[in-house]
């Protein structure tokens, strides 16, 4: 009897285990791989439509460009929220179906209030720098004067706010959604066009189309969609898991950093602050990403405890810079013990430096050398060219001081971002995009 009891219990266990596995596999098969934006005023609407249609989504959160590739390959079966005019590559048209529209989106020029945009016809866009989201196609995009690449609509807005671009293109709802959660010095400009927002269905799943259309019809009849959008705007994006990102310390490196962020697609907000404060906020976990640094530059014990580093994104050739009337004979770092050295405040200089003259930023550092208060500083050639283009100073470049393997610094609380950042860096290095971008900066 004891043997039969054990055997019986074992059989029951095996049956329940097999049933659980089959049930789990069945549920997994019923889930639909669905594109999802990390931060959009339409997120709640999309989730409500899926619930109304009784579709169990397996959300895939990635960049818009990657979502488009996955959809073409059939790895995504649903995606939202978009319009046919934004997804018109031949390989996309071959595999996509669209639901009925659920919202009319009036797209506007978004700009700073102190920098108005004159727009009467699409050709007028040729006078402006337009911040565009990677993976988006734009109606009238062929008329843009130049484009500044962004990884998300949040970054596109931030680039306009910071003056890196003259304008972005978005609907009123997305701008209101973001302004509710943060202070953005941006306003709606002229309306460009009105387009119908829809969801995309892969042709491999035509069975989902009627379910979605029926759900959209019921929700529109009840007014649920407008209610959900209004609620999202009132809440704002306070609950969106942005990465608070420290800005790079120089103009050239800011361009590199924005390139990495755009390629990674990480939802983020860039904050500008002095270097010393940025280091303090990183230790506290307020800033979770920072660029572009060498580990030896961030070696305080409290920093070492909380920081991780990405792969090398760029080897920066740092050079000495002197007043043109007093170039110095420096062959190695120990020679700096004889001179006053200008550095950006918050930078940990080697102990060999005799006297440190701190500056607020790299421009201030160059001014210290030009005025004679310091005798030498270090700078990479791209930043030197950009600074001299902005304001000519009586300075000359000296020999190479260091080849610095620059990395992204990641707070341990967000270590899941490291593989995403490393993958973005690998793509940019493979294509030579960083070098090409830096070579295109003012000389």
Whether residue 135 is predicted with pLDDT greater than 80 in this model: the reply is no
> What pLDDT, on the 0 to 100 scale, is given for residue 1?
41
CB within 8 Å of 431: residues ≥ 6 apart: none
Give the whole-angstrom CA distance, residue 165 versus residue 152: 14
pLDDT of 167 above 90: yes
CA distance 288 to 168: 26
- CATH architecture assigned to 104-196: 3-Layer(aba) Sandwich (3.40)
Q: pLDDT tens, 92-119? A: 999 999 999 998 888 999 999 999 999 9
Higher per-residue pLDDT: 411 or 177 = 411
Kindly tell me if the per-residue pLDDT of 237 is higher than 60. Answer: no
The pTM score is 0.50
Mean pLDDT confidence for 216-243: 74
Q: At 437, is the pLDDT very low, low, confident or very high (cuts 50, 70, 90)?
A: confident
**For residue 64, pLDDT beyond 90:** no
- Tokens representing 124 are 């007028």
Q: Measured between alpha carbons, how far is 283 from 307 in angstroms, rounded to an integer?
A: 8
Q: Tell me the pLDDT band of 378, cut-offs 50, 70 and 90.
A: confident
Name the pLDDT band for 20 (thresholds 50, 70, 90): very low
Two tokens, residue 38:
């990390």
Q: Calculate mean pLDDT across residues 49-55.
A: 94
Residues 315-358: tens digit of each pLDDT: 988 899 999 888 888 877 777 777 888 888 777 665 556 678 88
Lowest mean pLDDT among 18-32, 161-175, 238-252: 18-32
Residue 123 φ/ψ, nearest 5 degrees: -60, -25
Average pLDDT over residues 397-403: 88
CATH 3.40.190.290 fits 241-443, yes or no: yes
Peptide bond into 53 cis (omega under 30): no
Decide: 160 and 108 in contact? Cβ < 8 Å: no
Query: Does CATH place domain 30-102+199-235 in 3.40.190.10?
Result: yes
- pLDDT for 242 equals 59
Which residue's structure tokens are 């990674």?
Answer: 264
Show Cβ contacts of residue 12 under 8 Å, excluding neighbours closer than 6 positions: none
In 5-145, where do the E strands start and end? 32-36, 57-61, 78-82, 96-98, 103-111, 129-133
The answer to whether the CB of 268 falls within 8 A of the CB of 244 is: yes
- Asked if 342 and 378 count as a contact pair (C-beta separation under 8 A), the reply is no
Given a cut of 50, whether residue 8 has pLDDT beyond it is no
On the question of pLDDT at 302 being above 60, the answer is yes
Q: Are 33 and 75 in contact (CB under 8 A)?
A: yes
Distance separating alpha carbons of residues 320 and 144, to the nearest angstrom: 39
- What is the band of 409 on the pLDDT scale with cuts at 50, 70, 90? very high
Judge whether residue 271 has pLDDT over 80: no
In the prediction, which pLDDT does 97 show?
96
d(CA 86, CA 78): 15
pLDDT (0 to 100) of residue 212: 97
Q: Which two tokens stand for residue 402?
A: 């260091």
| pLDDT, average across residues 123-132 | 94
Q: Containing H/E element for 404? A: strand 395-411
State residue 436's pLDDT score.
82
Taking 3-state DSSP, the helix, strand and coil percentages for the chain, each rounded to the nearest 5, stand at 45, 25, 30
81: preceding bond cis by omega (within 30 degrees): yes
Bridge partners of residue 396, in order along the sequence: 322
Answer whether residue 24 shows pLDDT above 50. Answer: no
Query: CATH 3.40.190.290 occupies which residues in the chain?
Result: 241-443
Residue 413's pLDDT is 80
Other residues' Cβ atoms within 10 Å of the Cβ of residue 135? 19
- Mean pLDDT (the chain) is 82
Residue % of the chain over a pLDDT of 90: 31
Residues of the chain with CATH 3.40.190.10: 30-102+199-235, 104-196
Residue 81 has pLDDT above 60, yes or no: yes
The per-residue pLDDT for 61 is 64
Please name the helix (run of DSSP H) or strand (run of DSSP E) that holds residue 442, with its range, or none: none
């Amino acid at each position: 009897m004891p043997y039969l009891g054990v055997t019986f219990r074992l059989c029951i266990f095996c049956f329940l285990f097999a049933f659980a596995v089959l049930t789990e596999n069945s549920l997994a098969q019923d889930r639909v791989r669905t594109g999802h934006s990390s931060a959009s005023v339409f997120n709640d609407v999309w989730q409500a439509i899926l619930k109304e249609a009784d579709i169990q989504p397996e959300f895939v959160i990635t960049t818009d460009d990657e979502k488009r590739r996955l959809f073409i390959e059939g790895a995504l079966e649903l995606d939202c929220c978009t319009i046919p005019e934004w997804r018109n590559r031949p390989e996309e048209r071959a595999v996509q179906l669209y639901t009925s529209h659920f919202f009319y989106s009036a797209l506007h020029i978004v700009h700073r209030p102190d920098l108005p945009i004159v727009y009467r016809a699409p050709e007028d866009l040729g006078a402006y720098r337009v911040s565009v989201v990677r993976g988006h196609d734009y109606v009238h995009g062929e008329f843009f004067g130049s484009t500044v690449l962004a990884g998300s609509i949040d970054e596109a807005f931030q680039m306009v706010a910071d003056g890196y671009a003259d304008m972005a293109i978005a609907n009123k709802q997305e701008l209101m959604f973001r302004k509710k959660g943060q202070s953005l010095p941006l306003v709606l400009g002229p309306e460009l066009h009105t387009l119908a927002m829809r969801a995309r269905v892969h042709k491999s799943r035509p069975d989902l189309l009627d379910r979605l259309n029926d759900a959209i019809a019921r929700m529109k009849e009840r007014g649920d969609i407008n209610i959900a959008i209004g609620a999202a705007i009132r809440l704002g994006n306070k609950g969106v898991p942005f990465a608070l990102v420290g800005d790079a310390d120089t103009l050239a490196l800011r361009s590199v950093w924005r390139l990495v962020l755009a390629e990674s697609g990480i939802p983020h907000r860039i904050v500008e602050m002095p270097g010393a404060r940025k280091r303090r906020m990183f230790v506290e976990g307020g800033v979770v990403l920072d660029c572009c640094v060498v580990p030896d530059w961030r070696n305080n014990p409290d920093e070492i405890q909380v920081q991780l580093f990405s792969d090398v994104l760029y080897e920066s050739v740092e050079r000495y810079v002197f007043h043109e009337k007093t170039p110095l004979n420096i062959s190695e770092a120990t020679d700096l013990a004889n001179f006053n050295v200008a550095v950006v405040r918050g930078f940990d200089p080697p102990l060999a430096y005799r006297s440190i003259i701190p500056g607020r930023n790299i421009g201030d550092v160059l001014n210290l050398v030009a005025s004679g208060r310091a005798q030498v500083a270090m700078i990479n050639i791209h930043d030197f060219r950009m600074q001299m283009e902005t304001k000519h100073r009586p300075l000359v470049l000296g020999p190479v001081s260091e080849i610095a393997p620059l990395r992204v610094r990641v707070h341990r609380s967000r270590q899941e971002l490291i593989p995403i950042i490393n993958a973005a860096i690998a793509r940019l290095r493979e294509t030579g995009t960083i070098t090409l971008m830096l070579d295109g900066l003012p000389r």
